Amino acid sequence: MSTEQQLPPEVGTLREYSEAPFERRTEWAEEGDLVRITGPEEDHHMAAHPDLVEQVLFEEDGFVKFEGYNSVFGQGMVTVYGDQWRAQRGTIQPAFQPGKIRSYAETIRDIVADTVTDIGDGDVIDLRELFTDLTMEVMLETLFGGSGNKAEISAAAGRITEWFLETATAGEVPTSVQSDFERGMDELTEMIHGMIEERRGGDVDGDLLSMLVSIGAAGEADYTDDRIRDEMITMLFGAHETTALTLTYTLYLLADAPDVGQTLREELQTVLDGADPGPEHLDELVYTEQVVDEALRLYCPAHSLFREATEDVQLGGYTIPEGDVLYLPQWVIHRDERWWDEPTTFRPERFAEDDPDRPSFAFFPFGAGPRRCIGESFARAEAKLALAGLADAFEFERLTETFDMHASLTAVPDRPIEMRFHERT
Ligand code: HEM
């Protein structure tokens, strides 16, 4: 074997990895920036250095996204490539322009205000449940134009989320979870096809779904009804679970950091002055954004990006053979002490200034390069406004001190994270 064809050093097996993915990734990263995990079929490799992240995500050559979840996303933007991807991304992009985000922020203001009103002094709240509900409502009101039955869509999405978790952790999916998954997909398909018909009848207008229906299969991206369904399911899962987890972890961290809470509330006092947070406040909520960024650093919902090599690829002096899987782990890189001082400390101020010694891709919660998250500014606006509204109205008392994490499609807590909300006077 020549030097160019050398494989990365082996650190363990896929079986060991799947027993404790977060711990194993951290341990194994200490053995090198690019390491190999052997599997019964293909091997997996972990590239835990910002320069390797940059190379893979910007050059893109030789890798495709991991296809494990294509049965959910079908031909949505997240799974397609080349001209087809460019056409779909180009068609959807206008729904995420700054003007649109500002109009979504108006809707978010109302939903956050209603959420604040519904919470009573001393209520014990399951954070993930609260934020899954909030982000689902935001998504249905904005991208789906307020149509669709929230309870039914949430129930179907819940069945699919359960399947994500089982496929990621159990290897073999129990029959009941598989049949619930199929039921959830059928229900979503039927609901979205119903919404498409409503738009054809001219009953709803002005949202992303209406835009796709009016462009339709005649447009460059060939939006047949099935592709529209796939795109909306992609948006549904891209948009709500990730943002809900971001807010869950943000409040969990904040409740144990009184100094951060104080600085945050001083900003809210100055910027909001008692008003409900909305689009006009977004640019001024500077520290609020640092709090969100710091939560995204420590508990990034996208705990790792996955790619599959479509040919032998040279990376970091090693060869990643065709058919093998590559991980780019935010979980490890965001906590690496080479780039982050006191990496496990929650200190939002570290985002106040760019550290010239820190490589750009030591922080990539929304990915990087051409496939970077299309919904980043949407998610940032939503997280900032929800955090601002809740932290201005309540103090948080942690009832769940610790939890473990499951490496599903996203990084999910293994138990409810509960908190008591105390009204601020
Ligand atoms: C805090 C919240 C969010 C996080 C952490 C997040 C994270 C990510 C990451 C890491 C990627 C890149 C995946 C890869 O390269 O393999 C991605 C892509 C994507 N995200 Fe997000 N996301 C969030 C919110 C959203 C929202 C609100 C939407 C839609 C409204 C969305 C829609 C998408 C889509 C469609 C893609 C695929 C883009 C493409 O392939 O061109 N995400 N997201």
pLDDT in tens, 368-404: 999 999 999 999 999 999 999 999 999 999 999 999 9
Task: Give the pLDDT of residue 170.
Answer: 61
Domains and CATH numbers, the chain: 80-312+342-423 (1.10.630.10)
Confidence class of residue 68 from pLDDT cuts 50, 70 and 90?
A: confident
Q: Which two tokens stand for residue 303?
A: 């705990």
CB atoms within 10 A of CB 201: 8
Confidence check: pLDDT of 414 > 70: yes
pLDDT digits (tens, 9 = 90+) for 158-213: 999 889 888 876 667 889 999 999 999 999 999 999 999 999 888 777 899 999 99
Q: Counting Cβ atoms within 10 Å, is residue 353 exposed (0-12), middle (13-18) or buried (19+)? A: exposed
> What is the best residue among 56, 93, 308, 373 to mutate for testing ligand 1's pocket, by most ligand atoms within 8 Å of CB?
373
Measured in Å, residue 115 CA sits from the centre of ligand 1 at 25
Measured in Å, residue 3 CA sits from the centre of ligand 1 at 37
**Number of the ligand 1 atom closest to the C-alpha atom of 57:** 15
Task: Give the pLDDT of residue 368.
Answer: 97
Measured in Å, residue 190 CA sits from the centre of ligand 1 at 25
Task: Give the pLDDT of residue 132.
Answer: 95
Q: Is 367 in the pocket of ligand 1 (CB under 6 A)?
A: yes
Q: Are 336 and 48 in contact (CB under 8 A)?
A: yes
Residue nearest to atom 21 of ligand 1 (CA): 373
Alpha carbon distance 188, 184 (integer Å)? 6
Q: Is 268 in the pocket of ligand 1 (CB under 6 A)?
A: no
Sequence-ordered list of residues with C-beta below 8 angstroms from that of 40, at least 6 positions apart, any chain: 14
Confidence check: pLDDT of 4 > 60: no
Measured in Å, residue 380 CA sits from the centre of ligand 1 at 12
Measured in Å, residue 366 CA sits from the centre of ligand 1 at 6
Confidence class of residue 70 from pLDDT cuts 50, 70 and 90?
A: confident
**Number of the ligand 1 atom closest to the C-alpha atom of 307:** 16
**Number of the ligand 1 atom closest to the C-alpha atom of 301:** 5
**Number of the ligand 1 atom closest to the C-alpha atom of 246:** 1
**Number of the ligand 1 atom closest to the C-alpha atom of 89:** 41
Q: Is 65 in the pocket of ligand 1 (CB under 6 A)?
A: yes
Alpha carbon distance 29, 17 (integer Å)? 12
Sequence-ordered list of residues with C-beta below 8 angstroms from that of 48, at least 6 positions apart, any chain: 25, 29, 33, 34, 35, 328, 329, 332, 333, 336
Confidence class of residue 2 from pLDDT cuts 50, 70 and 90?
A: very low
Alpha carbon distance 201, 208 (integer Å)? 16
